[in-house]
């Protein structure tokens, strides 16, 4: 199957949005993955266009959730963690331990952290909403500065230019 992608500017750097079939399968910050031999740029693709529009509204502070067909590729455990991430309300944070409890596996906070770090659809699957047990910002694949920007946006600390 052909993988389609587009790029877009955002307050947290350029983003690469990726789709396969009717589903969004990736949202990557810099550095983006290198397009493979079966990838094609598709800026006018309906799925990618919807994702760009919703992301623009999110960064403008006009959207608090996403309504997109998602198909992240991962292990059953990873997909369970990513589904639980989508249940964290906009503007709120939880710890890795709390996320482990929410998937009925309270001893798995480290594994939850690893699954969180492998989230292929950043921002939309809000892995940035998971913080350390002591309230500190910890590990984020996009870097802690980006995590802080996203959390500040969601907590209404500042409006981000789009």
For the chain, give the DSSP string: --EEEEEE--TTS-EEEEEETTEEEEEEESSPPPP-TTEEE-TT-HHHHHHHHHHHHHHTT--SS----B-----HHHHHHHHHHTTSPTT--EEHHHHHHHTT-TT-HHHHHHHHHT-SBTTTS-GGGEE-TTS-----TT-HHHHHHHHHHHTTS-PPP-
Q: State residue 109 phi and psi, 5-degree precision.
A: -60, -35
Active-site annotation holder among 127, 130, 131, 149:
127
Neighbours of 99 (CB within 10 A): 24
Task: Confirm whether 127 is a catalytic residue.
Answer: yes
Residues identified as active-site: 127
């Amino acid at each position: 199957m052909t993988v389609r992608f587009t790029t877009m500017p955002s307050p947290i750097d350029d983003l690469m949005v990726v789709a396969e079939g009717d589903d969004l399968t990736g949202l990557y910050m810099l550095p983006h993955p290198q397009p493979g031999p079966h990838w094609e740029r598709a800026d006018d693709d309906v799925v990618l266009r919807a994702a760009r529009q919703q992301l623009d509204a999110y960064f403008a502070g006009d959207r608090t959730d996403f309504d997109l067909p998602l198909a992240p590729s991962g292990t059953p455990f990873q997909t369970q963690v990513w589904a639980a991430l989508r249940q964290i309300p906009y503007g709120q944070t939880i710890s890795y331990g709390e996320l482990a409890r929410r998937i009925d596996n309270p001893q798995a906070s480290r594994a939850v952290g690893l699954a969180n770090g492998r989230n292929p659809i950043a921002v939309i699957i809000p892995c940035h909403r998971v913080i350390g047990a002591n309230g500190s910002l910890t590990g984020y694949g996009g870097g802690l500065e980006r995590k802080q920007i996203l959390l500040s946006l969601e907590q209404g600390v500042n409006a981000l230019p789009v």
